[in-house]
Amino acid sequence: MARFTDKSIIVTGAGSGIGRAAAMLFAQEGGKVIVADISEGAHETAAMITGAGGTAVAIQMDAGLESDVEKTVALAVERFGGLDIMFANAGISGGMANIFDTDVSLITEVLRVNLIGPYLAIKHAAPKIAERGGGAIVLTASVAGIRSGAGSPAYSASKAGVINLAMVSAQQLSGSNVRVNAICPGLTETGMTKPTFDYARDAGKMDRVGRLNPLRRGAQPEELAKVAAFLASDDASYVNGQAIAVDGGLSSSHPVTKQEYGRTAV
């Protein structure tokens, strides 16, 4: 398959995890990829792509900082002549503190990266994509944004915002031929969840990872990357304003331990 031949693509959070897997998949299918990440992992991913014969340019940037987003979009235009696809994937977890133990500064930072970041991606990428006749924007939300039980208050609220942002943006881009959709990952083995997976492996408890979803396992980044690539491609030409759960079926029920104010129910 070569769904992205000569397409100009930006992937944020591409230094590891879902972003890295997506950047590599886009390049394998002919895309020219701007590999963006706040860490040096951006250069590692770009080297992996070019080493495999693909086209990639790395940039270290803060996805929640408007000047950096503008600079990243400008780089795609400069190097590849325009922009066709934006995958706004960068995000942070913000820990697992409850509402009463979460500092406002932490909530502010989580919202800045996880929600303002995708907003800035749409704001600056959409006009450039429209100039090329249309294309796609894909956002990374989470099952935590669908309903409670899969993340902290700060993280969950930020991802719920991303889901609504995809819907609002799809409407406000009416007539531009720019589609906006979101993926909602369940538990996936990335840098963010590495401690959980490492602990499970070391303790011989991998059978407990993802046990609440019907597939009874966690996901690998490549599984999420394939769905992001579908939404970015012409295969999804009539999919717009949607949030697609990729969670092994977790969000069909979201079974969780019940919590009560002041204590955890058993």
The DSSP result for 24-57, as a single string, is HHHHHTT-EEEEEESSTHHHHHHHHHHHTT-EEE
Model confidence over 113-171: pLDDT tens digits?
A: 999 999 999 999 999 999 999 999 999 999 999 988 778 899 999 999 999 999 999 99
Q: Does the residue 227 lie in any domain?
A: yes
Q: Does the residue 138 lie in any domain?
A: yes
Q: Does the residue 209 lie in any domain?
A: no
Q: Does the residue 3 lie in any domain?
A: no
pLDDT of residue 191: 65
Model confidence over 48-94: pLDDT tens digits?
A: 999 999 999 999 999 999 999 999 999 999 999 999 999 999 999 88
Count of the separate structural domains present in the chain: 1
Q: For strand 259-260 and strand 263-264, is the pairing parallel, antiparallel, or unpaired?
A: antiparallel
Q: Does the residue 236 lie in any domain?
A: yes
Output the domain CATH number for residue 34.
3.40.50.720
pTM of the model: 0.90
| From 155, 199, 238, 261, the catalytic residue | 155
Q: How confident is the model at residue 266 (pLDDT cuts 50, 70, 90)?
A: very low
pLDDT of residue 197: 57
Dihedral pair phi/psi, residue 139, rounded to 5°: -115, 145
Mean per-residue pLDDT for 174-191? 91
Q: Which of the two residues, 131 and 190, has the higher pLDDT score?
A: 131
Q: Does the residue 204 lie in any domain?
A: no
Q: Is 155 one of the catalytic residues?
A: yes
Model confidence over 142-158: pLDDT tens digits?
A: 999 998 877 889 999 99
Q: Does the residue 195 lie in any domain?
A: no
Q: Does the residue 15 lie in any domain?
A: yes
Residue 154: which domain range? 8-189+220-247
